[in-house]
Amino acid sequence: MMQDACRNRYELHENELIDRFNRRLNYLRVSITDRCNLRCNYCTPAGFFPKLPHKEILSYEEILRLVRLLVCAGVSKVRITGGEPLVRKGVYEFLSELHRIEALSDISLTTNGVLLKENIRRIKSAGINRINVSLDSLNREKYGKIAGADRFDEVWEGIQLSLLMGFDPVKINMVAIKGVNDDELIDFARLSLIYPFHVRFIEYMPIGTQCMSMERQMLAPEIKQKIEEIGSLHPISRGANDGPAERFRFDGAPGEIGFIRPISRHFCPDCNRLRLTASGQLRLCLLSNLQFDLKTPIRTGASDSELLNMIFSAADRKPLEHELVCREKSTVLDPMYAIGG
């Protein structure tokens, strides 16, 4: 019984997911689909887009069962991602169910924004208040080249509407790539001077078998130096529930700037993340091939206690740090859309 499996957690503090390096794993990222309505050229290998057959994807009931168990084990923060989460049928009902899990203090959604505008009310009614939208260019034509589809207007309108609808924060994620969008760094930074957006610059990670040349990568110090041409950035102190972003603000700006630096500064020592892929694999580190199958046990009658035991022993194998360094070939075989960024 779930109740029995959970009881320990409330009685025994040590039954929270704390790994052997004393990291409390309380943040779960769930990829609900490997499908996407965009083909961002740094994320999806050219001309190649495998789709898992539907039966290989965890059902919403299966995902909710695993999330509830993980909540029993101390997870309090969940982010829904993909592929593109908004392309999966039934996603809004699923988000509502997720919202009903009382012990979850923070539920957020990462989307490419293509379907945001038309579904924003459904997202809000499902109880989601925090949203990340990926946007790699503010130039319509260039956006189309990067994303493989001319959807800039929908995305931008969706972002604007998110603000109007009171989502807080509205984060804009930009992966900076030399020769592609590095000429727009200042334009993105300026957004934080006009709107209360949290603009996040993300370092490109060489993931998947067809990853981009590392020469195109831009690291946070270089990005920061560039955008400080328009003003000094002041650090913002970190909150308890903060992610790995290093956060700053320009003087008087309503918005903020963040840097996600998986390459130039590993946040591994503080990493509190677990990932559940659409195919039901528990991954302890985005940048490691290590994964633990939860789909087979869940479909062959494993009890809640058995699943929890598997989760605990998997968590114990979370690597101390990732080994992704600037090499010719990526050490991580699965592309981002399959793992869930």
Q: Which residues bind ligand SAM (CB under 6 A)?
A: 36, 42-43, 81-82, 84, 110-112, 134, 173, 175, 202, 204-205, 207, 336-337, 341
Q: Cβ closer to ligand SAM: 185 or 202? A: 202
Measured from the CB atom, the residue of 18 and 38 that comes closer to ligand SAM is 38
CB nearer ligand SAM, residue 43 or residue 233: 43
Q: Which is nearer to ligand SAM, 180 or 205 (CB)?
A: 205
Q: Which helix (H) or strand (E) holds 133?
A: strand 130-134
- Closest CA relative to residue 16, chosen from 291, 311, 317, 321: 311
What's the closest the beta carbon of residue 212 comes to ligand SAM, in angstroms? 8
Residue 233's contacts (CB-CB under 8 Å, 6 or more residues apart) are 224, 227, 248, 249, 250, 257
Q: Which is nearer to ligand SAM, 71 or 80 (CB)?
A: 80
Residue 81 or 279 having the CB closest to ligand SAM: 81
Give me the torsion for CA of 81, 87, 88, 89, rounded to 10°: 150
Nearer of residues 151 and 247 to ligand SAM, judged by Cβ: 151
Contact call for residues 246 and 258 (beta carbons, < 8 A):
yes
Q: Minimum distance from CB of 143 to ligand SAM (Å)?
A: 12
Shortest Cβ distance from residue 200 to ligand SAM (Å)? 8
Residue 299: which H helix or E strand, with range? helix 295-299
Please enumerate in sequence order all residues whose Cβ is within 8 A of that of 149, keeping only pairs 6 or more positions apart, or say none.
Answer: 37, 38, 39, 114
**Smallest separation, CB 239 to ligand SAM (Å):** 22
Complex with ligand SAM: residue 21 or 221, whichever CB lies closer: 221
Gyration radius of the chain over CA positions: 19
In 3D space, the residue among 67, 73, 122 whose CA is nearest the CA of residue 100 turns out to be: 67
- Residue 196, classed as helix, strand or coil, is coil
Which residue's CB is nearer to ligand SAM, number 25 or number 133? 133
Write down the least CB distance from residue 319 to ligand SAM, Å.
19
Q: How many CA atoms lie within 13 A of 209 on its CB side?
A: 5
Closest CB 32 distance from ligand SAM, rounded Å: 10
Which position's Cβ is nearest ligand SAM? 341
Sheet containing 106-111: which strands, arranged edge to edge?
233-235, 246-250, 256-260, 198-203, 170-176, 130-134, 106-111, 77-81, 27-31, 273-276, 281-283, 291-293
- Smallest separation (angstroms) from ligand SAM to the CB of 72: 27
- In this structure, the number of other CB atoms found within 10 A of the CB of residue 161 comes to 17
Shortest separation between residue 6's beta carbon and ligand SAM, angstroms: 30
Nearest approach, Cβ of residue 317 and ligand SAM (Å): 24
DSSP β-ladder status, 233-235 and 246-250: antiparallel
